[in-house]
Amino acid sequence: MNPRSFSMKAANRNDENLENGMLERDIEKSVRSNKVVTVHNKALLSGVAYCISSCSMILVNKYVLSSYGFNAGISLMVYQNFVSVVVVSSLRVFGIITTEPLTWRLVRVWLPVNVIFVGMLITSMFSLKYINVAMVTVLKNVTNVITAVGEMYLFDKTHDNKVWTALFLMIISAVTGGITDLSFHAIGYTWQIINCFLTASYSLTLRRVMDTAKQVTKSGNLDEFSMVLLNNTLSLPLGILLILLFNEVDYLSRTPLLQLPTFWLVTTFSGLLGLAISFTSMWFLHQTSATTYSLVGSLNKIPLSVAGIFLFHVSTSLENSASILFGLLAGVFFARAKMQDKSQTRS
């Protein structure tokens, strides 16, 4: 064989191997890049879905409780959860989704967080009846403070000075907002403070309970639809018991609202939104942390507050408007501080 021909073939083979190696590296980089984009897209998509559903849910509930003057918040919660159970069960029957069977072991694990879930929903109904949407959004900032403290003690997470400064500003805005609130209602504020503690407890305990619950399922997994069905199904008997304890049956037997088709249409729509927020909150919590879950809720309060003021024609003073704006900006500052805190922790 000609030595020159042999060397040319060897060189071609080397070039071929080099090209193949570069091609494989490019493919690996592309796959890794696509995985990163997919993760970020899921987090973004779940966050946007959570914001839309939670924002709509608060506005519709406010409309039912205030504009219609419906005085049975627990019954509204039970009906919303019942709609969620019917929808998810129907999807399962038609084979569109699959859910884990409700076993006694699973119920026992999930029951504590479900009690918090029911309390969170009911106290939200009670506070929303007495407080305007904008002030509810500012007061909910207190949830971030409780969540951050809870993460520090339960999960050994540390926060830098910027985060604590933002949390302090949130507390100041909530206090000044309450002082300058023209429609201040002590009962409504009390229910909202209780709601803040329950909401923080829910977000802190949910991830730990989800991990434990997966261990007692048949498949070793617990997807969002299974958790939504589990949460809403377990809430029904507890909700009915509370309806009896708070004597809402007497009100329901007397109110003419139950005879209005439009009222049932709105409340059924609120039930569908309840399903959406149950699914998106669990989905979003899967993609992020409890603090991120709370801070995105804070950012979502900006358009929600503006919509609440204009849609329900809330009369507000300059001082109160400034307190609300201050609280919303504190939420934005908290979001930025939390992101910087997280990036410094990783590095």
What secondary structure does DSSP assign to 48-89, as a single string? HHHHHHHHHHHHHHHIIIIIS----HHHHHHHHHHHHHHHHH
CA dist 126 and 119 (Å) reads 11
Helix (H/G/I), strand (E/B), else coil: 96: coil
- Output the pTM of the full model: 0.75
Q: Dig out the tokens for 51 from the structure.
A: 């914001």
Alpha helices, H only, 216-317: 224-245, 248-254, 261-287, 290-299, 301-311
Q: Dig out the tokens for 167 from the structure.
A: 């949390």
* Residues written for the chain: 347
State the amino acid at position 319 in one-letter form.
E
C-alpha 60: how far from chain center:
17
**Number of helical (H) and strand (E) elements in the chain, helices listed first:** 13, 0
CA dist 275 and 283 (Å) reads 12
Residue 87: per-residue pLDDT: 92
Q: Dig out the tokens for 60 from the structure.
A: 């519709």
User: 225 near 279, Cβ under 8 Å?
Assistant: yes
Q: In angstroms, what CA-CA distances link 93 with 87, 221, 269?
A: 10, 20, 22
CA dist 125 and 70 (Å) reads 11
Residue 267: per-residue pLDDT: 93
Residue 177: per-residue pLDDT: 79
Helix (H/G/I), strand (E/B), else coil: 101: coil
Residue 141: per-residue pLDDT: 78
pLDDT tens-digit profile, the chain (347 residues): 555 454 555 445 555 554 555 545 554 544 444 444 455 577 778 778 888 887 888 889 888 888 888 999 999 999 999 998 999 999 888 888 888 888 888 888 888 899 999 999 999 889 988 888 888 878 887 888 888 888 888 777 777 787 788 888 888 888 887 777 777 788 888 999 999 999 999 988 887 787 788 777 777 777 778 888 888 899 999 999 999 999 999 999 999 999 999 999 999 999 998 788 777 877 787 777 766 776 676 667 777 777 777 777 777 777 777 877 777 777 777 767 766 666 555 55
Those residues with Cβ within 8 angstroms of residue 148's Cβ, 6 or more apart along the chain or in another chain:
159, 163, 167, 291
Residue 16: per-residue pLDDT: 52
- What phi, psi does 130 have (nearest 5°)? -105, -20
Q: Dig out the tokens for 1 from the structure.
A: 């064989």
Residue 120: per-residue pLDDT: 92
DSSP structural state of residue 259: G
DSSP structural state of residue 100: -
